């Protein structure tokens, strides 16, 4: 049975890596394989192989069928970006963002005639800064509320970066098939929604969330307690998440499988103890049969209170498999129960394999079962607890390095004290803080969390709490898996130390670096902004850091830093911030904190007239070695020359030059070709640059200024640069109509091959003998749920279509 379930899981996983959904022609192979499996000798290897092949095809077909149904619930392209009037209910707890709120909305009625919309969408509601805070607070969207509103919807879109988070896959698993923006002033309460249990639960959770925050008005841990009790992870601050990530306890600060399992175990233990002391009940219903179902029931109630999120659902399916096995006296084989849980999870949610939590939870349980199989005797409980921490840490090390390119070195110590304090004390107290009409549970829960936070902060202050490594390859992961199995073998088996040798390729993967005199440019997909990374043989430079986002995050922490870690860079040799616009400098502070660049070169001049923003001043204060960008500066790395062509020093004090026209322009050149990085340089700046440096701007690759705006890339400038490849960093469906149609025509007329991050995702550019070669991440990582395939590289006039704001 176990092998058959693994084959089914392999088929489900195979479907999830397909670039498009398959047709039905391959189904003709199912019948021959079934006949082969039925008529071959019963105990032969070929019969087993046939059944395994059949189960693989069944898993593949089942996942494809579910995907077809999920994708059928889609937004009609004809209604993309058009305002529609909707009636429906807020699902879950709305997330508060710096600019407003984000929430999931279940559509029940579409009042706009002819509109075809999906059933679940995610919406952004932005505050009107002109209204007083009291008025804005009274208009806040509440969980479970029935509302009518007007919105502009778009098909799911996300960024495409090497090894980056797949937002579209995250939406697909949750059945969210569109995203959009609520039209200002259109939200109104309604009574047209159907009454439903999920709606009532969400309303209850909203009330309980308010109760927690009322009882802890000044506590910095109110968000953590709300997350533990109600699954309100968005209430945890970014600084707190960073501390949890660095100490390896992020799984504890949300409704994880561990909390659901341990709460069920506590109730199971209490029920077992009490039931055995009631002789009449015990004689009629054995305690060992009743207690598992009571524990499971409490776990279900907790999961419902916490929003019944997908991680909690997976855990409940696993607990259900264990409960059924106990009831049927089938718990003698834990691996069979784990396999049954795997089958149940994938049947209900075939997209579970796309989740990091799926691999970490099943991997940890499988490792514990393997490490405990066939062992004689019992360890002391504290020794057993320590060994369990060691087993989980070792087993998850390759997965964490593969998925996140980092591993918390203090994680075993942090989890050793945080797991019992959070799961056995803070979680029950947090639930009490929400349900009990008294203040003491909230106060005690806050105290327990403070003890945990104190310990985590101490661990985070150690010299190196986190170890970063480059993303390992598939072969390195396979070797590491074998190495983990070898290290977890029982004592007495010789040469177990060889397992460390098998793990070494994951810890020190082979990194593809440019050769001497070569360099590569990576234009990361950061939305409406710019973030470039240039790599030479031994150095790395970031040119701009991308925008800040409405959620409060920024491209530096979400995109650029993970990319650098994945490439094996723990530090930057230099950071260039072209000018004081947040779509270029929004992630600079995060990059300075994570990668400590050796120097900062920027046009962030502060002449004292108030032009420099507070964010720009913060960047200068945080930088280790700030340098003002001035024409004539240059440096050489690994036979690659970097020349600053613009601006002249006097322009920094000239009030007639806007920030865009003081963008730091850098030309990169080597024996294979050259690139010109222009920031947001507008036409006035282009004219000034050509007056003094016309002969120096010619380059094989042009990073098009100001995202392809009509205020940049004048015909004279493009003719002087003579690019063979033009790269435009631009957001999907941006509100500015970038790139401009006239700019696209001018670049095409000049013979430039046009690449755009909104259509190709992150773009890697290599030069060989003056010929640029571009590689699209979106094409390499395409999956069937990605709505828009990469467009042709010569878009013609398609870029002239102006669409409203993509709210992501």
**SS3 readout for 530-590:** CCEEEECCCCEEEECCCCECCCCCEHHHHHHHHHHHHCCCCCCCEEEECCCCHHHHCCHHH
- HSE-CB of 143 using CA atoms within 13 angstroms: 23
What pLDDT digit, counting tens, does each position of 745-792 carry? 999 999 999 999 999 999 999 998 889 999 999 888 899 998 753 333
Q: What pLDDT, on a 0 to 100 scale, did the predictor assign at position 263?
A: 84
Please tell me the chain's helix, strand, coil percentages from 3-state DSSP, rounded to the nearest 5.
50, 15, 35
Q: What pLDDT, on a 0 to 100 scale, did the predictor assign at position 138?
A: 43
Q: What pLDDT, on a 0 to 100 scale, did the predictor assign at position 550?
A: 76
Q: Is 163 left (phi over 0), alpha (psi -120 to 50) or beta?
A: left
Cα separation, 309 vs 252, whole angstroms: 15
The single-letter DSSP state of residue 601 is E
Low-confidence ranges of the chain (pLDDT < 70): 25-31, 33-44, 46, 128-139, 254-257, 330-332, 372-385, 607-610, 655-656, 788-808
Strand partners, 768: 771
Q: What pLDDT, on a 0 to 100 scale, did the predictor assign at position 468?
A: 86
What pLDDT digit, counting tens, does each position of 116-158 carry? 899 999 999 987 655 544 444 445 799 999 999 999 999 988 8
Cα separation, 574 vs 592, whole angstroms: 10
Note whether 62 and 7 are within 8 A (CB): no
**Cα distances (angstroms) measured from residue 232 to each of 96, 222, 254:** 11, 11, 8
Q: 265: buried, middle or exposed (CB in 10 Å: 19+, 13-18, 0-12)?
A: middle
Note whether 212 and 229 are within 8 A (CB): yes
Q: Specify the pTM.
A: 0.86
- Kindly list the strands in the beta sheet with 640-646, ordered across the sheet, starting from the edge strand earlier in the chain: 634-637, 640-646, 665-670, 673-677, 701-703, 725-728, 753-756
Neighbours of 755 (CB within 10 A): 24
Cα dihedral 445, 450, 455, 460, rounded to 10, equals: 120
Instruction: Report CA torsion sign: 394, 400, 406, 412.
Output: negative
Cα-trace Rg, the chain: 29
Q: What pLDDT, on a 0 to 100 scale, did the predictor assign at position 802?
A: 28
**Closest-CA residue to 544 (of 584, 595, 591):** 584
**Closest-CA residue to 578 (of 658, 642, 663):** 663
Crossing angle of the two packed helices 614-622 and 588-595, in degrees rounded to 10: 10
Q: Is 72 left (phi over 0), alpha (psi -120 to 50) or beta?
A: alpha
Note whether 571 and 596 are within 8 A (CB): yes
**Closest-CA residue to 3 (of 335, 318, 333):** 335
Q: What pLDDT, on a 0 to 100 scale, did the predictor assign at position 15?
A: 93
Cα separation, 801 vs 322, whole angstroms: 56
Q: What pLDDT, on a 0 to 100 scale, did the predictor assign at position 27?
A: 66
Distance in Å from the first CA to the final CA of the chain: 44
Three-state secondary-structure class, residue 495: coil
Tokens encoding 649 = 């020093």
> H helices within 405-473, ranges in order?
411-419, 427-435, 440-460
Cα separation, 390 vs 488, whole angstroms: 10
């Amino acid at each position: 049975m176990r092998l058959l379930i693994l084959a089914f899981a392999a088929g489900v996983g195979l479907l999830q890596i397909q670039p498009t959904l398959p047709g039905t022609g391959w189904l003709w192979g199912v019948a021959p394989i079934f006949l082969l499996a039925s008529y071959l000798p019963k105990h032969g290897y070929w019969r087993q192989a046939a059944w395994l092949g059949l189960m693989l095809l069944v898993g593949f077909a089942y996942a494809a069928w579910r995907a077809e149904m999920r994708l059928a619930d889609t937004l009609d392209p004809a209604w993309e970006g058009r305002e529609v009037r909707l009636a429906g209910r807020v699902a879950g707890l709305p997330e508060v963002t710096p600019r407003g709120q984000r929430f999931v909305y279940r559509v029940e009625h579409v009042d706009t005639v002819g509109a075809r919309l999906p059933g679940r969408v995610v919406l952004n509601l932005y505050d009107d800064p002109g209204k007083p805070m009291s008025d804005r607070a009274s208009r806040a969207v509440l969980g479970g509320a029935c509302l009518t509103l007007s919105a502009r919807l778009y098909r799911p879109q996300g960024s495409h970066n090497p090894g980056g988070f797949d937002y579209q896959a995250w939406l697909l698993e949750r059945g969210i098939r569109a995203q959009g923006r609520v039209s200002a002033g259109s939200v109104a309460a309604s009574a047209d929604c159907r009454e439903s249990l999920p709606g009532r639960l969400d309303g209850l959770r909203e009330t309980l969330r308010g109760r927690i925050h009322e009882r802890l008005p000044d506590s910095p841990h109110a968000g953590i307690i709300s997350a533990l009790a109600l699954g309100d992870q968005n209430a945890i601050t970014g600084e707190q998440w960073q501390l949890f990530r660095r100490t390896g306890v992020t799984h504890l600060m949300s409704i994880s499988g561990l909390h659901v399992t341990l709460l069920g175990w506590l109730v199971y233990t209490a029920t077992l103890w009490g039931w055995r002391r009631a002789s009449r009940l015990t004689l009629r219903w054995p305690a060992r049969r009743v207690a598992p179902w009571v524990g499971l029931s409490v776990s279900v109630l907790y999961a419902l209170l916490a929003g019944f999120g997908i991680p909690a659902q997976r855990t409940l399916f696993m607990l259900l498999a264990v409960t059924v096995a106990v009831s049927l006296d089938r718990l003698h084989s834990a691996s069979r129960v784990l396999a049954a849980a795997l089958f149940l999870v994938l049947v209900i949610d075939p997209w579970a394999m796309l989740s990091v939590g799926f691999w970490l939870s099943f991997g940890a349980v499988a490792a514990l079962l393997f490490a405990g199989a066939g062992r004689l005797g019992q360890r002391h409980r504290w020794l057993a607890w320590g060994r369990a921490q060691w087993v989980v840490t070792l087993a998850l090390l390759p997965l964490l390095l593969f998925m996140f390119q980092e591993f918390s070195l203090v994680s075993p110590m942090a989890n050793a004290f945080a797991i019992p304090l959070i799961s056995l004390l803070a979680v029950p107290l947090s639930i009490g803080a929400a349900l009990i009409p008294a203040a003491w549970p909230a106060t005690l829960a806050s105290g327990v969390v403070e003890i945990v936070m104190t310990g985590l902060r101490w661990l985070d202050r150690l010299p190196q709490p986190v170890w970063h490594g480059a993303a390992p390859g598939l072969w390195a992961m396979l070797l590491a898996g074998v190495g983990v199995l070898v290290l977890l073998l029982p004592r007495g088996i010789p040469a177990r130390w060889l397992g460390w040798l098998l793990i070494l390729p994951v810890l020190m993967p082979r990194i593809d670096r440019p050769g001497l005199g070569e360099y590569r440019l990576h234009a990361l997909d950061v939305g409406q902004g710019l973030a470039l990374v240039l790599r030479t043989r031994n150095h790395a430079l970031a040119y701009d850091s991308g925008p800040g986002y409405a959620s409060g995050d920024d491209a530096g922490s979400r995109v650029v830093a993970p990319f650098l870690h994945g490439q094996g860079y723990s530090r930057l040799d230099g950071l260039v911030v072209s000018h004081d616009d947040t779509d270029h400098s929004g992630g600079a502070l995060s990059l300075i904190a994570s990668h400590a660049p050796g120097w900062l070169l920027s046009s962030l001049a502060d002449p004292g007239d108030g032009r420099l923003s507070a964010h720009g001043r913060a960047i200068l204060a945080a930088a280790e070695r700030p340098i003002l960008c001035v024409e004539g500066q240059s440096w050489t790395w690994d036979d690659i020359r970097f020349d600053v062509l613009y601006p002249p020093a006097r322009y920094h004090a000239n009030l007639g030059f806007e920030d865009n026209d003081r963008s730091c322009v850098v030309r990169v050149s080597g024996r294979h070709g050259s690139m010109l990085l222009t920031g947001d340089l507008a036409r006035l700046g282009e004219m000034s640059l050509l007056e003094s440096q016309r002969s120096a701007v010619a380059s094989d690759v042009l990073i098009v200024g100001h995202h392809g705006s009509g205020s940049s890339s004048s015909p004279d400038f493009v003719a002087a640069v003579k690019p063979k490849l033009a790269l435009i960093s631009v957001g999907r469906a941006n509100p500015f109509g970038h790139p401009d149609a006239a700019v696209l025509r001018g670049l095409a007329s000049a013979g430039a091959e046009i690449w755009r991050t909104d259509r190709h995702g992150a773009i890697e550019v290599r030069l060989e003998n003056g010929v640029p070669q571009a590689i699209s991440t979106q094409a390499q990582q395409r999956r069937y749920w990605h709505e828009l395939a990469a467009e042709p590289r010569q878009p013609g006039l398609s870029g002239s279509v102006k669409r409203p704001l993509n709210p992501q």
